């Protein structure tokens, strides 16, 4: 048997079978005779959501943007298509993805299933962009979920528990370029102006840097010879006016949106990402700064701060509410779990939800209390998969 290892190496499993279907029919055939089915593409989840001792389906051969509707701007794609592969075909048709994160090598099905996001108080996650999906259920049947199907908000962020996505339509927006502004500010300027700047700009985010060595852990460029302790690496993006020419100078680039967003990260971190109601942002940030200062050196990685708009997907971190996103990391090779559990406890006081692809300590009780449609999702999951074919040891305690 072959071992599977995720992108940062903190999750491994040895499935009974690893299959790479090349068609929907092959997915059906695999599911009908399988047990413990989980799907994986690039393995960008930090959690064990893709682990199984049964059948692991890889999406490596189900790739491609099949078409872009020139009127509606909906792009039809296969599940293993990397986010970065949407850029050129959408642009050629006059469209762009509404938003995306720093990493564009993730497969679209995984990005959708875990509500992966960029930043912007008016911009929801990838889940909200899904308008239609085809999935293979536990019985091996194909179900098409259209825009008027009441189950669509469940499928939009299903963490792979309702079936295997084999095709999906993603809503794009008119093509646009972005103008970038990257600066270093004292932490109070970034923290205290969060609401003002999040509302003024399309994208406002920052990394809080607690120590001199923190910025280098994420490859954040800093001013030579200047102290960066208690500063923030600030990123602001806005739509570029038509008469502003492209520019390649780092920190103030102007280019097509899909070329601006991606960043290079070494897989040298294990990330936790929690979401608190936006109206609690200032208090949550202040509390997190104090916790990080008290937990050094375990808290040495920068804290990334972003915003995400409310959406309808039932398991989304932002179901029904705008969110402040707080991302921190554990340093591989250290016993960082006590620090991350402190983060869980602290942000739990702010009604925090989680990114299911990032490290978290959510309990079933917390799930049911913090996600208003969690019980509805569990009921639908039981209906479509009564035997738990798509569950694993990580998901079963939460969703069985």
- pLDDT at residue 132 tops 70: yes
Q: What is the mean pLDDT of residues 18-26?
A: 96
- pLDDT at residue 125 tops 70: yes
Task: Give the CATH number of domain 177-362; options: 3.40.220.10, 3.10.129.10, 3.30.70.2520, 3.40.50.460.
Answer: 3.30.70.2520
Whether domain 65-174 has CATH 3.40.50.300: the reply is no
Q: Report how far residue 92's alpha carbon sits from residue 96's, in angstroms, rounded to the nearest whole number.
A: 9
Q: Class of the 4-58 domain?
A: alpha beta
Q: Where are the beta strands (DSSP E) in 137-230?
A: 142-145, 164-171, 173-174, 177-186, 203-209
What's the sign of the alpha-carbon dihedral 331, 337, 339, 342? Answer: positive
- pLDDT at residue 1 tops 90: no
| CB distance 84 to 44 below 8 Å | no
- Supply the pLDDT for residue 265: 76
- pLDDT at residue 224 tops 90: no
Find the length of the chain.
400
Residues near 288 by beta carbon (within 8 Å), at least 6 away in sequence: 303, 326, 328, 343, 346, 347
pLDDT category of residue 216 using cuts at 50, 70 and 90: very high
Q: What is the mean pLDDT of residues 295-316?
A: 97
- pLDDT at residue 158 tops 80: yes
- pLDDT at residue 259 tops 90: yes
Cα 235–Cα 237–Cα 242 angle in degrees, nearest 5 = 155
pLDDT category of residue 153 using cuts at 50, 70 and 90: very high
- pLDDT at residue 100 tops 90: yes
Residue spans per domain, the chain: 4-58, 65-174, 177-362
Q: What is the mean pLDDT of residues 159-175?
A: 97
- Whole-angstrom CA distances from 280 to 189, 235, 242, 348 are 18, 22, 37, 12
């Amino acid at each position: 048997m072959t071992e599977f290892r995720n992108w940062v190496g903190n999750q491994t499993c040895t499935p009974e079978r690893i299959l790479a279907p090349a068609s929907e029919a092959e997915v059906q055939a695999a599911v009908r005779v399988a047990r413990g089915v989980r799907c994986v593409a690039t393995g960008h989840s930090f959690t064990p959501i893709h682990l199984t001792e049964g059948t692991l389906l890889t999406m490596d051969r189900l790739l491609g943007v099949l078409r872009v509707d020139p009127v509606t701007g909906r792009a039809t794609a296969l599940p293993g298509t990397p986010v970065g592969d949407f850029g050129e075909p959408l642009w050629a048709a006059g469209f762009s993805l509404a938003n995306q994160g720093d990493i564009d090598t993730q497969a679209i099905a995984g990005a959708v299933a875990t509500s992966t996001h960029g930043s912007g108080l008016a911009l929801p996650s990838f889940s909200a962009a899904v308008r239609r999906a085809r999935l293979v259920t536990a019985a091996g049947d194909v179900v098409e979920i259209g825009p008027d199907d009441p189950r669509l908000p469940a499928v939009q962020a299903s963490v792979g528990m309702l079936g295997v996505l084999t095709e999906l339509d993603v809503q794009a927006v008119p093509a646009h370029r972005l103008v970038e502004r990257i600066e270093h500010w004292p932490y109070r300027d970034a923290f205290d102006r969060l609401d003002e700047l999040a509302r003024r700009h399309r994208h406002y985010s920052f990394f809080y840097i607690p120590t001199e060595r923190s910025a280098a852990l994420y490859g954040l460029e800093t001013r030579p010879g200047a102290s960066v302790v208690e500063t923030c690496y600030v990123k602001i993006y806005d739509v570029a006016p038509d008469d502003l020419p492209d520019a390649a100078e780092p920190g103030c680039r102007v280019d097509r949106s899909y070329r601006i967003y991606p960043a290079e990260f070494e897989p040298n971190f294990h990330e936790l990402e929690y979401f608190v109601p936006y109206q609690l942002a200032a208090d949550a940030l202040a509390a997190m700064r104090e916790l990080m200062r008290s937990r050094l050196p375990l808290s040495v990685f920068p804290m990334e701060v972003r915003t995400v708009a409310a959406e309808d997907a039932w398991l989304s971190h932002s179901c029904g509410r705008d969110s402040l996103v707080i991302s921190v990391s554990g340093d591989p090779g250290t016993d960082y779990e006590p620090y991350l559990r402190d983060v869980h406890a602290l942000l739990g006081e702010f009604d925090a939800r989680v990114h299911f692809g990032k490290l978290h300590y959510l309990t079933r009780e917390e799930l049911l209390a913090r996600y208003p449609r969690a019980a509805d999702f569990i009921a639908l999951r039981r209906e479509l998969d009564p035997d738990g074919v798509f569950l694993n040891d990580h998901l079963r305690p939460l969703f069985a």
